[in-house]
């Protein structure tokens, strides 16, 4: 029993890069779990995916000027994500196009433009680094950035939690009582971009939204209260990171896809046996009749 437990933690005890990757997964789980739940409640799941790719042109411009510099990629990605979110919101507000369709259009443009910009100067290896990330190469500086974003996101969410949840579930009531729904929506979009930029450092643009939305969707099958969904999503995201890193180490798999596929495994399992709304939960229950 002890040897089996040691086998689970041995890679993290023996190698510093595995410990840093695990701590990065913990920080990403704390920050991205609640954000994913709120995106799910606001029916903006695909908007999160679109915004994860919206950071790519900015990261590509940062790459053109500073290479694979942490701050160049981060600041460029954050600026691009905010710009796309703002422009998509303006288009949705002043035209007949809905917000999700507007984000979809800008997402496709951003993805193509980002790949083009990276390809102009970088190699295929640089492109793979930006698209899929390298969580096993997270250094102390990147770890500090990810942890800082997770801490800031948690503090801001705690401060605006009640009006933000109300704006998700009943925006009409919030407007009726004079709540500033648009302000909370804007702050929330900034938090989404921040957490996607943090995830981008570890998992790349194509995988960043996976650790945000899959655990949130998993949590929806196990609990119905918002706070417990946020907690369940964070725990699921961390477990996905832990198991994914172990699978990556034991079988030589790419770490980012292993983590996201582990989260997908939890999601599929929850679809089948979750407590609320799963396939098993919807099966007709047998009734006991007494003769």
Q: DSSP assignment, residue 209?
A: T
Output the six-digit token pair for 281: 């939960």
> pLDDT class for 179, splitting at 50, 70, 90?
low
Tokens (6 digits) for 119: 């390809």
Q: Which single residue is written with the structure tokens 């422009």?
A: 87
Share of the chain above pLDDT 90, in %: 36
Q: Is the dihedral of CA 49, 259, 135, 191 positive or negative?
A: positive
Mean pLDDT for the stretch of residues 126-151: 84
Distance CA 104, CA 181 (A): 23
Lowest mean pLDDT among 28-37, 126-135, 207-216, 282-291: 282-291
pLDDT of residue 287: 52
DSSP 269: H
- pLDDT for residue 272: 95
Sign (positive or negative) of CA dihedral 11, 207, 263, 254: negative
pLDDT at 289: 47
* Nearest CA among 221, 262, 281 for reference residue 135: 262
Name the range with the highest mean pLDDT among 48-62, 178-192, 250-264, 275-289. Answer: 250-264
For residue 28, give the nearest of 136, 189, 160, 145 by alpha carbon: 145
pLDDT at 152: 95
For residue 291, pLDDT beyond 70: no
- Judged by average pLDDT, the poorest of 19-33, 111-125, 232-246 is 111-125
Class of domain 1-273: mainly alpha
Helix/strand/coil for 266: helix
**Tens-digit pLDDT profile for residues 16-45:** 999 999 999 999 999 999 999 999 988 877
Instruction: Quickly state the pLDDT bin for 173 (edges 50, 70, 90).
Output: low
Overall pTM surpassing 0.75 (yes/no): yes
- Calculate mean pLDDT across residues 150-156: 94
Confidence at residue 219, expressed as pLDDT on a 0 to 100 scale: 96
Position with higher pLDDT, 179 vs 27:
27
The percentage of residues in the chain with a pLDDT greater than 70, rounded to a whole number, is: 91
Q: What are the b/e assignments for 177-200, b being 16+ CB within 10 Å?
A: eebebeebbebbbbbbbbbbbbbb
* Residue burial 83-115, b: 16+ Cβ < 10 Å; e: rest: bbbeebbebbeeeeeeeeebbbebbeebbeebb
Cβ(59)–Cβ(113) under 8 Å?
A: no
CA-closest candidate to residue 17, choices 133, 140, 103 = 140
The per-residue pLDDT for 175 is 66
Per-domain residue ranges of the chain: 1-273
Asked whether the predicted pLDDT for residue 283 surpasses 90, the reply is: no
Taking 90 as the threshold, does the pLDDT of residue 237 lie above it?
yes
């Amino acid at each position: 029993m002890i040897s089996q437990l040691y086998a689970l933690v041995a890679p993290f005890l023996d190698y510093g890069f595995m410990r840093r990757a695990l701590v990065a997964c913990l920080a990403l789980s704390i920050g991205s779990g609640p954000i994913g739940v709120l995106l799910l409640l606001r029916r903006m799941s695909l908007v999160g995916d679109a915004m994860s790719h919206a950071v790519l042109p900015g990261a590509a411009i940062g790459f053109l000027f500073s290479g694979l510099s942490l701050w160049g990629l981060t600041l460029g990605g954050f600026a691009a994500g905010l710009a796309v979110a703002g422009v998509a919101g303006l288009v949705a507000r002043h035209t007949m196009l809905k917000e999700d369709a507007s984000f979809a259009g800008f997402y496709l443009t951003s993805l193509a433009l980002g790949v083009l910009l990276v390809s102009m100067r970088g190699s295929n290896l640089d492109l793979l680094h930006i698209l899929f990330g390298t969580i096993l190469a997270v250094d102390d500086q990147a770890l500090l950035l990810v942890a800082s974003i997770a801490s800031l996101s948690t503090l801001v969410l705690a401060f605006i939690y009640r009006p933000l949840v109300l704006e998700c579930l009943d925006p009409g009531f919030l407007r009726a009582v004079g709540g500033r729904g648009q302000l909370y929506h804007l702050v929330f979009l900034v938090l989404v971009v921040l957490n996607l930029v943090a995830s981008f450092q570890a998992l790349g643009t194509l995988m960043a939204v996976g650790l945000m939305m899959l655990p949130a969707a998993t949590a929806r099958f196990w609990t119905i209260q918002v706070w417990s969904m946020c907690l369940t999503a964070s725990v699921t995201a961390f477990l996905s990171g832990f198991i994914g890193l172990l699978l990556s180490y034991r079988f030589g798999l790419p770490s980012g896809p292993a983590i996201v596929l582990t989260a997908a495994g939890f999601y599929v399992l929850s679809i089948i046996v979750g407590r609320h709304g799963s396939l098993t939960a919807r099966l007709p229950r047998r009734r006991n009749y007494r003769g």
